[in-house]
Structure 1
Amino acid sequence: MNPRDDMDDGWARSAAAWLEHVGRDGDFSRAQVLDAPMLERVGGARRALDVGCGEGRFCRMMAAQVPEVTGLDPTPALLDTARERGGAVFVEGRAEDMPFGDGAFDLVVSYLTLIDIADARAGLSEMARVLAPGGRLLIANLQGWLTASQTKADGWARDEDVAARMVVDRYFEHHAFRAEWKGMSILNWHRPLAWYMQTLLGLGLELEHFDEPRAVGGAKADRYNRAPYLLMMEWRKPAALAAQTGG
């Protein structure tokens, strides 16, 4: 894959619609699926970085447990809202080239942001670089079969029994697709799960936790649990790796 940095990712034009969509409480994927298990994994951190923090919602949630929280995002309109709402330090920047020193954080979070990063290899490399020895990288991401189902129009649907039917295509091929919903048009990237796993292992990180969290609360949660499309994983940067690389 040759990521194209000149492609308009759509976030600047979609920021207002996004803020209306997630509000202060978050959308279904966050509030009813990921928030609780993600927060369970942040305990013990002293300095946390949320990469692609958007309006800063998860930063504020982490701040109840973590003394120093920083959010990084490339979209000024989202950062303006994050700073208005407070709760953390917010910095403008991109995941592929972070303005932080080596080992600056003992927890780095990527909460549904990897699909937004054109050069995800550079982004993951930077996340590992700014992670302190013994620090943890906490990731929430979409399942690869879901992003591959966006290749064709109407890639998935539910029947009368709410079972999901998917049209999955180009799974092994890294490719961009335009996600359009509720007034937003965002450029996302599909990559197979094996690519993420191999890239993280290649960076010397060690997998400590993997889960496909279940949704809780109501009929929509019951439907989601028929075909869950979110995953989370936690990786640790061993001290030996930092000693070898000098990072």
Structure 2
Amino acid sequence: MSNGWEESASAWIAAQGERGDFGREHVLDPVIMERVSGKLFERALDVGCGEGRFCRALKLKGIHVVGIDPTEELISHARQRDPDGDYRIGGAESLPFAAESFDLVVSYLTLLDIDDFRAALAEMTRVLKPGGTLLIANLNSFITSCSSGWITDQDGNCLYYPVDRYLEEFPEWVEWSGIRVKNWHRPLASYMKELLAQGLTLTFFDEPQPQSRDDPEREARYRRAPWFLVMEWRLPQNSP
């Protein structure tokens, strides 16, 4: 069964542009790029690279990047935008790379799209070099537990963001800007337990706030509810 990405690819490309949406540009990018800058990464894998925006950003840091995504139209667009780049069609659950191939693996808002996230995390760990970094950005589980969004009053003012079925794991279809895709809700504990089971060590965690003053109303909403999280995990040098 389709997860909606093939049907939504054109709308996604149009919505993202080169800078990404508000959440990427003003909330996640500043934190993630700070985690990457000055770390002397040589070879990175962007799992679920989509149209290649973040791959291009990493290339500007002098990192050799491989992008992989199962959606053919998104990979085709990435190749058009970056003809010298390395973009491949494939899924996170079975990465076509040898073990210990990358010193940086990035999952930038992709775990919520993956049906078998446990297999995907095992694969991301497998291709990571000892001492390497797995950098994850994801929707906060409080947010994915209720995709219907803010509860508002009769004037449209945001009252609160509801949380429901938090401890379950379930998919929901979400729609915006002509995009309709299947996203997974999972409690944060599901991700944490699996990452720890892979032998990874948590070295950074944040629920970032907007770093912009251009849209006060939107920024206020991002501060009222923890929309995103960023985690940095390291594979120990002595990992089996």
Smaller-chain TM-score range? over 0.9
Per-residue deviation, residues 186-215 of structure 1 (Å, max 9, x unmatched): 011111001101110010000000001110
Partner residue, 2:87: 90
Q: Percent identity?
A: 50
- Note if 1:133 corresponds to 2:127: no
Partner residue, 1:56: 52
Per-residue deviation, residues 56-85 of structure 1 (Å, max 9, x unmatched): 000000111133111010001001110011
The residue type equivalent to 2:78 in the other structure is A
CA distance in 2, matches of 1:238, 1:164: 44
How large is the RMSD of aligned CA atoms in angstroms? 1.5
Distance 1:161 1:19, change over 3 A: closer
Select 1:227's aligned residue among 225, 228, 232: 225
SS in 2 for 1:80: helix
Aligned residues of 2:150 and 2:158 also touching (Cα < 8 A): no
CA distance in 2, matches of 1:182, 1:102: 38
Partner residue, 2:161: 166
Aligned residues of 2:174 and 2:181 also touching (Cα < 8 A): yes
Aligned residues of 2:151 and 2:162 also touching (Cα < 8 A): no
Partner residue, 1:12: 6
SS in 2 for 1:239: coil
Partner residue, 1:3: none
Q: CA deviation at 1:141?
A: 0.3
Q: CA deviation at 1:42?
A: 1.5
Q: How does 1:28-177 map to 2 (within 5 A)?
A: 28-43=22-37, 44-86=40-82, 88-150=85-147, 154-158=148-152, 163-177=158-172
Select 1:192's aligned residue among 187, 191, 202: 187
CA distance in 2, matches of 1:164, 1:195: 29
Distance 1:125 1:66, change over 3 A: farther
The residue type equivalent to 1:75 in the other structure is T
CA distance in 1, matches of 2:146, 2:62: 37
Q: CA deviation at 1:164?
A: 4.6
SS in 2 for 1:72: strand
CA distance in 2, matches of 1:123, 1:67: 23
Gaps of 5+ in 1: 1-6
- Note if 1:237 corresponds to 2:212: no
The alignment covers a number of residue pairs equal to 233
TM-score (norm 2): 0.93
Distance 1:9 1:111, change over 3 A: same
Distance 1:78 1:161, change over 3 A: closer
Aligned residues of 1:32 and 1:221 also touching (Cα < 8 A): no
Q: List, as ranges, runs of 4+ consecutive aligned residues in structure 1 with deviation greater than 4 Å.
A: 158-164
Select 1:27's aligned residue among 21, 24, 35: 21
CA distance in 2, matches of 1:205, 1:32: 28
Select 2:207's aligned residue among 208, 212, 222: 212
SS in 2 for 1:141: strand
TM-score (norm 1): 0.90
Gaps of 5+ in 2: none
The residue type equivalent to 1:198 in the other structure is K
Aligned residues of 1:148 and 1:190 also touching (Cα < 8 A): yes
Distance 1:66 1:108, change over 3 A: farther
Distance 1:133 1:170, change over 3 A: same
